Amino acid sequence: MAVIKLKELSEKEDRLTGGHRMCAGCGAPIVVRQMLLAIDEPVVIANATGCLEVATTIYPYTAWKMPWIHSAFENAAATIAGVESMYRSLKQQKKLPVDKDIKFIAFGGDGGTYDIGLQSLSGALERGHNFMYVCYDNGAYMNTGIQRSSSTPFGADTTTSPAGKAIPGKQQNRKDLTKICVAHNIPYAAQASPHNWKDLMEKTRKAMSLEGAKFMNVIAPCNRGWRTQTNDAIMLSKLAVNTCFWPLYEVEYGVTTVNYAPKKNRRPIVEWLKPQGRFKHLFKPGNEWMLAKFQEYVDDQWRAVVKLHNEAHPADQIDPEEGKTW
């Protein structure tokens, strides 16, 4: 793969234009722009219903400078799988040049990926279509009113898991969709964050260079749903990684590699929770047990990922406890 250089990136044309109607400070378009800049080949996009779809294609306008297909919440993976199948068929029929290389990507939010679209995603991964599915994970159904999804973290206050006298926010831990996709034995799966643009773009290029189905889960802060400032997306993405809530790792042909270990930069989970209004009730007297439970969950998940890395890389061991000073 070619080395990614900022100067060269600055000279490339954005495939997602400015002027769209995404909220100021939204993490999703930052993720999309970085990923598309990392790809040199022509790209065809399928986009599940959601914030990204609605706000970038308000008729008669579009922010996409490439072939783009709107799919329903539940079938973006099936749609792009069909397009990729047609492409292979046309090449076999010599109706397209055999050396023509087109890439295929599906974008969906966590509602359209973890929940509504999981069936078609699982099917497309199992069949091994040559495409990449990207989930921009903002932790709830933000487009339809901030309802909880299976990606919503424990304790979060949403319109369908409200923090009040009956319950103190969502009572379940989030689903680990990245591990579910890895279990399909696909060539490549990874987690990434827009604050670490180099890691995100290198993973994008690596995924696009591999044959078969790929999956990337990218954290995408939503200031409206997370109840944060409009300029907090990158700061919160970085904190999510440095608290180990969102580990940066990849699984290539079954081999797990942790791409970044916070070490002495590791922060307690409360530092990620405090800036977010959806978690403010966790800091009220009587809810200390929720903070402790959240920290325990994050520690357990981090240790599990590190264990897989250490098993795969005996000469490059990571201490899962290093940097814990709280």
Q: How many other C-beta atoms are found inside a 10 Å radius of the C-beta of residue 95?
A: 8
d(CA 138, CA 164): 23
Residue 32 domain-assigned (yes or no) = yes
Residue 4 domain-assigned (yes or no) = no
- How does pLDDT run across 39-96, given as a tens digit for each residue? 999 999 999 999 999 999 999 999 999 999 999 999 999 999 999 999 999 999 999 9
Structural domain including 237 reads: 12-312
**What confidence category does residue 322 fall into, taking pLDDT thresholds of 50, 70 and 90?**
confident
Residue 97 domain-assigned (yes or no) = yes
Cα dihedral: 225, 229, 232, 237 (round 10)? -20
Residue 1 domain-assigned (yes or no) = no
**Total domain count for the chain?**
1
Beta pairing partners, 189:
215, 251
Report CA torsion sign: 152, 161, 225, 116: positive
Residue among 255, 236, 254 at smallest CA distance from 246: 236
Q: Give the single-character DSSP code of 159.
A: T
Looking at residue 279, which CATH number applies to its domain? 3.40.50.970
- How does pLDDT run across 196-251, given as a tens digit for each residue? 999 999 999 999 999 999 999 999 999 999 999 999 999 999 999 999 999 999 99
Residue 321 domain-assigned (yes or no) = no
Residue 247 domain-assigned (yes or no) = yes
Residue 6 domain-assigned (yes or no) = no
Residue 2 domain-assigned (yes or no) = no
**pLDDT, mean of residues 141-149:** 97
Question: How far from the centroid of its chain's Cα atoms is residue 166's Cα?
Answer: 32
Predicted TM-score (pTM) above 0.85: yes
